Amino acid sequence: MAVNWLLICHGLVTLIVIISFLCGQWPIFQGTPIERLHHFITFGAYDYFLRFVGFVFGDKARRLVLSIERCCCDRPNPFLQVIYLAIIGATYYYIVKSSFRYIPGYYLGEVHKYTSLLAVGIGVVLFLLTSFSDPGTVKAGNVSEYLLAYPYDNIIFTEKECSTCKIPKPARSKHCSICNRCVARFDHHCGWMNNCIGEKNTRYFLAFLLWHCLLCLYGAIALALIIAGRFKELRIAYILTVYYGVENSFRSLTPHVAQWLLNSYNTQFLLMVFLVIVSLLLAGFFGYHANLCRSNTTTNETFKWEDYISWQKKLNEARASAAALKASISGMSSEAKRPESKYKSFFRRSPLEDTQVVAKENKYDKGFFRNVFEVIFPLSTRSSFLHTKSKPS
């Protein structure tokens, strides 16, 4: 029984760590232990590790660790790609080893041995497509076409030159310091893909997220049906009620069924929990990026808009404060008037409340259907883009 509780505790700790690592920055977790654990995992633990290495092995060892960090985080490398292939390969291997002997079963047919392999294969193909496809590299040969395709909004994108590539920088593009190239409609650099997510491969990235979410759900449901089939075939409920005298009710059977499950099928159960957690995380990522595509926005532009709106709010508040101070000074220099009561001054409206609300004006939002169409069929793949001639200077 101690082993069962150990497995449950291990699963809970793993769940908390995964949620903290991936979702700790979400607004819902602000000020909670999840946010603090996220900061420790992403920053604190590494800082303590560097201090430990420097204290025990000296400054040379610390510099070696920092050089490895730069190689892994600031340059293209296949480290996370290998981890992805290891995760999906190991998960499928353990499912085959632990569960395929129960197929066909009470609820699953023989065909699932082959559909599962096909589903994993499609997932790997989408991974390779996203990893090795061109995200929409902006070069001297196509920059004029991109300049026409994505006009400047003069709010978060203004006319400028890329200081690294020495070419005009089209709106919605960004120079990726890791890949060392300008990418059209830049969303983010994905370490798992070892590639930028941009204009041309956003569709593959979305398909990757959606497919892997469904793949994990498929695996979790299949494992649940295998366990349910074994429960039915072995007549566990009948044995517990007839031979062990357990009352035939949900409340009485649940602890005994849980003990049977963790003793006999703990591998399948842990795999099922793991797949459910991953599917929920992937569903969250897919929902976030699908919502961006719905409004024709990117992750990079989301951060730009947040900075712009924050800056505009501070600017408006500063103007309102200056106007209020000027009015106060002019009032003091004018003729003496009856002093305002403390009651009225307490409930007087603050000038900062009258500051102008800053609205987001997304010039690139063309409506739901056109936005989605632009993601599925990028502008640079259309004949109108390919045949566009640059205007004479």
- Which residues have a catalytic role annotated? 190
Taking Cα atoms as reference points, which of 128, 125, 253, 134 lies closest to residue 182?
Answer: 134
Q: Which sign does the torsion angle of CA 165, 365, 285, 117 carry?
A: negative
Q: Are 228 and 234 in contact (CB under 8 A)?
A: no
Q: Is 129 helix (H, G, I), strand (E, B) or coil?
A: helix
Helix 202-233 and helix 79-99: axis angle, to 10°? 20
Q: Are 246 and 190 in contact (CB under 8 A)?
A: no
Residue with tokens 């640059």: 390
Whole-angstrom Cα distance, residue 302 to residue 297? Answer: 7
Taking Cα atoms as reference points, which of 363, 356, 365 lies closest to residue 316?
Answer: 356
Q: Are 222 and 108 in contact (CB under 8 A)?
A: yes
Taking Cα atoms as reference points, which of 283, 119, 121, 296 lies closest to residue 210?
Answer: 283
